[in-house]
Structure 1
Amino acid sequence: MKKLFVKILFVSLLQTFFLSNAQISQLFRNKDRLDNLEAFDEQTYSWGFFLNMNNYDYKIVLNPKYGIYNKQNLVQSKPTYSFGAGLIGKMRLNEYFDLRVEPGLQFVDRELTFNTQVNSSALVLTDADKIRRVKSTYVDVPVLLEFHVDRWYNSRPYVAGGLNYMMNLQSNSSASDDNQQGIFRTTTHNFGWSAEMGIQFYFSRFKLTPGFRGTFFFNNELVADNPGTPPYWAAAMNTIQTRAFMFVLKFE
């Protein structure tokens, strides 16, 4: 399913690129220029969908006893690139402000490396013990307030910001096993804030919006290991908080 979605996203990006090249001169021509979708932004409600590439990472605050040795950080986070998709619902507030709700799914894969055995000798760590692949599927529901300026020919820049609720469907928060059995646990329900900027392009039949978004969690996502588990994993960290950067393509 993941490979199929990546192929679909790649084809969509190619189609968008070629379509943009074919129509870009029409978008910004002065002579005999026609404004596309002139009444589109006068609608009180509108909808669309989006595709995105994402890069998720953890901001980690280490425990000074178990996560740091000789001023060296013993836990490292490695982000990877993945993808997401969702729907767009927009309500026009006035000439310059819109309210947007953009529920979607974000598929995330991260890797944590624990070189923490130097602080304890309770267990000999194997290479498998040192690596935790943290896979997450977030149901992301951002509510954003968008501010845009007047259209310039067939384009319009904007900025947006707001709050997110994100449910992690692969959090393992209720699992009885922990890192000693290879299970890294995080919280299911999370909250954060997002900021976004981009440019809206008006074509003859639709509006295309490429944009960049950053999302940052408020809460600590770490679930402690069970009592009796050696302090190599969760105990080596005080807090972990997701931070994400996305390139988004919106179609309305």
Structure 2
Amino acid sequence: MKKINYILFLLLICNIAYCQKPKLENLPKYDIQKLHFGFTIGFNNMDFVVKPIKDMKTLDSVYIVEAIPVKGFDLGIIANLRLREHWDLRFVPNLAFGQRNMEYSIKEQDTVLSKYVKSIESTYINFPITFKYKSARVNNFRAYLLAGGRFSIDLMSQADKKDQEEEFVKIKKQNVALDAGVGFDFYLYYFKFSIELKMSYGLNDMLKRDNTIFTQSVDKLSSKIFYLSFNFE
């Protein structure tokens, strides 16, 4: 519901921008630049797509496995290459800080269901490359679409750690994902400000198998991350 509210709010901004009367444009030569740079800050909502094993009854104790998303934040730099009038290529390396929780409903003593929550903290170095398709500029406003992919390294991954007293749900250090999103450019007097909404869907299985009940119950674990970004270029 919150994501829908974000989208409706941004669509309202777009409608107001399109209804503006013609006026003096800020940064009239901005889009002629072959290459420009900037920075980005924003928020994320890290989640997993959990695919349980086909027959959970084969396990004696685990009955339900769920992922619980947790909000985080990210920051990075922007490099934008102009390809054609409506097309750009963007490289936005960034750091993303976040957490995801895995909730397990486990049967104990034949009748009692207990819940166990395993927290997975992540600090990603992301290397996303995206194509940006821009609409025609209307006064000091422009909308755009994004599509591309990213390679990520989790600096907090515990996949290589062994002999821990507590049982952790470990995820692999590297991840590959596809990205898609929309954004809105606002040309201000000194710089361009943008708001972006993006979804990132992981392609590979992130779960590190260690023969515990917390991994035996999951067939595949892939990432799903929502980003709300504010760009200054």
Q: TM-score, normalised by structure 1?
A: 0.78
Write the distance in 1 (CA, Å) between the matches of 2:58 and 2:232.
46
Equivalent pair of 1:62/1:68 in contact (CA under 8 Å): no
Structure 2 counterparts to residues 213-252 of structure 1, below 5 A: 213-226=198-211, 231-252=212-233
Deviation at 1:28, TM superposition (A): 7.2
Give the superposed CA RMSD: 2.7
TM-score normalised to structure 2 length: 0.84
Structure 2 CA distance for partners of 1:114 and 1:98, relative to 1, 3 Å: same
The amino acid that maps onto 1:240 is: L
SS of the residue 1:95 aligns to: coil
Find the aligned partners of 2:50 and 2:57 in 1 and give their Cα distance.
Answer: 10
The 5-angstrom pairing of residues 138-153 of structure 1 reads 138-153=124-139
Judge conservation of contact 1:116–1:232 (CA < 8 Å) in 2.
Answer: no
Distance 1:203 1:28 in 2: 17
Aligned length: 216
- Structure 2 match to 1:88: 78
Contact 2:18–2:138 under 8 Å retained in 1 = no
Q: Does the 8 Å contact 1:142/1:165 carry over to 2?
A: yes
Alpha-carbon distance in structure 2 between the residues aligned to 1:68 and 1:170: 32
The corresponding residue for 2:91 is 101
Unmatched 5+ residue regions in structure 2? 1-12
2:162 maps to 176
Match of 2:25 in 1: 35
**Ranges in structure 1 where 5+ consecutive residues have no aligned partner:** 1-20
Residue pairs, 1:61-80, within 5 angstroms: 61-66=51-56, 74-80=64-70
Asked whether the equivalents of residues 63 and 106 of structure 2 are also in contact (C-alpha less than 8 Å), the reply is no
Hey, what's the Cα distance between the residues in 2 that align with 1:177 and 1:111?
22
1:55-102 CA distances to partner (integer Å, 9 max, x unpaired)?
111100112344788xx9511111111111111000000101000000
Percent identity for Structure 1 against Structure 2: 25
Summarize the Cα distance change of 1:241–1:107 in structure 2 as closer, same or farther, 3 Å threshold.
Answer: same
In 2, Cα distance between equivalents of 1:67 and 1:109: 29
Counting only pairs closer than 5 Å after superposition, residues 41-60 of structure 1 correspond to structure 2 as 41-60=31-50
